[in-house]
Amino acid sequence: MDKPVIAGKKPTVMEYEAGTYFWCRCGLSQKQPFCDGSHKGTIFSPLKFEVEEKKRLAMCNCKCTGNEPFCDGAHSKLP
């Protein structure tokens, strides 16, 4: 597996509390957009990111964003 699986063609938008999160890069996680360890045995690893204060964020599920882990609209260009 050298390319991530497209987990969805829409972002996950939700309120995030301040804290540390791990975004799924492989697309295999059953807890999108978060890592559940499904990447084991692939070339992928999760992306650790920090949220400094409570805020609403749009997280990429297509795994094609140029602004990991946030949605940049790349899903709108997918077939």
- Binned average pLDDT, 10 residues per bin, the chain of 79 residues: 93 98 98 97 97 98 97 94
pTM > 0.95:
no
pLDDT at residue 1, rounded to an integer: 80
Contacts of 46 (CB under 8 A, 6+ apart): 22, 23, 24, 25, 35, 39
Give the C-alpha distances (Å, rounded to integers) separating 79 from 11, 74, 76.
16, 11, 8
Rounded Cα–Cα distance for residues 79 and 58 (Å): 21
pLDDT at residue 44, rounded to an integer: 97
CA gyration radius for the chain? 12
